[in-house]
Amino acid sequence: MEQKARQAEHSQRRAGADRRAGAIANEHGRQSIFWNAANPDLVWSLRVAVPFSYAASKNHLFALRRQGHVALRRESRAMRTEITLRLRQALAGRRIAHNKVWLDILVQKPNHRGDAINVVDLVCDAVKDAIPVDDRWFCIRRLDWEIVKANPQLFIGLGQDSLEDCQICSYCGQIKPLLAFNKAKHCPLGVGRQCKDCRRRGRILAKQHQEPAGGRARE
């Protein structure tokens, strides 16, 4: 029992040191208010179009049914399904990396009554249904609108700036290739959630913490 307790305490100290190392790396890599990143250079991209309808707006997505149930409106569901189907057709045979997915959206509105930004929710839900990458990886590269009186369309573009499968380190928060993580069969991607760099730096911090007073910190 004492040995298990010591092992558990050692694991907790190691994990704490790894988290501190990750927090330091995260602080060094964060953006400032002057963040002005250029648009990513996409290695692949495609676009699809569907007839525009205000059913795509988040203000029209849901309806209150009997007994207080909230349901997705039929028109909104149909539009979401149509976007998903067209994306699947356009993506047929294409491998999508577990990495950032960049979205371009152009809303052709018949009038100036609705907000273009309100279509983002439905578009992202439709894209999520079409590809094997979670919407936490989605980024809006461009969102624009124009007034089109006849046959307005909703244009949706997808693309990626990398073909490498990656994962977010839960300690430093950085996007890293799967090779930067230790293997773990029980995890969905086959690797753990903490990168090797955070573990290595955590070991260094732990050793420094164990140094006697006045001792020289190990590199």
Kindly give the residue spans of alpha helices, DSSP state H, lying in 30-131.
74-90, 120-130
pLDDT, tens only, 158-176 = 999 999 999 999 999 999 9
Would you say residue 76 has pLDDT above 70? yes
138 and 73 both lie in a single domain: yes
DSSP code at position 70: E
Q: Is the pTM of this model over 0.85?
A: no
Amino acid at 189: L
Helix (H, G, I), strand (E, B) or coil at 216: coil
110 and 199 both lie in a single domain: no
217 belongs to a structural domain? no
Average pLDDT over residues 14-40: 89
pLDDT, tens only, 11-26 = 787 788 899 999 999 9
Q: What percent of the chain lies above the pLDDT cut of 90?
A: 67
56 and 18 both lie in a single domain: no
- The number of distinct structural domains making up the chain is 2
Which CATH number goes with the domain that contains 91? 3.30.1330.70
Contact of 79 with 122, CB cutoff 8 Å:
yes
11 and 76 both lie in a single domain: no
Contacts of 81 (CB under 8 A, 6+ apart): 126
pLDDT, tens only, 199-217 = 999 999 888 876 555 555 4
Token couple for 4: 């298990």
- 97 versus 3: the higher-pLDDT residue is 97
Domain range for 171 is 2-33+167-210
Predicted pLDDT at 10? 65
pLDDT band at 55 (very low <50, low <70, confident <90, very high): confident
138-147 and 101-109 as β-strands: parallel, antiparallel, unpaired?
parallel
Residue among 40, 37, 166, 158 at smallest CA distance from 105: 158
50 and 29 both lie in a single domain: no
73 and 119 both lie in a single domain: yes
Angle subtended at Cα 173 by Cα 39 and Cα 203, rounded to the nearest 5 degrees: 140
Q: Reduce the secondary structure of 152-203 to three states and give it as a string.
A: CEEEEEEEECCCCCEEECCCCCCEEEHHHEEECCCCCCCEEEEEHHHHHHHH
Phi, psi for residue 151 in degrees, rounded to 5: 55, 55
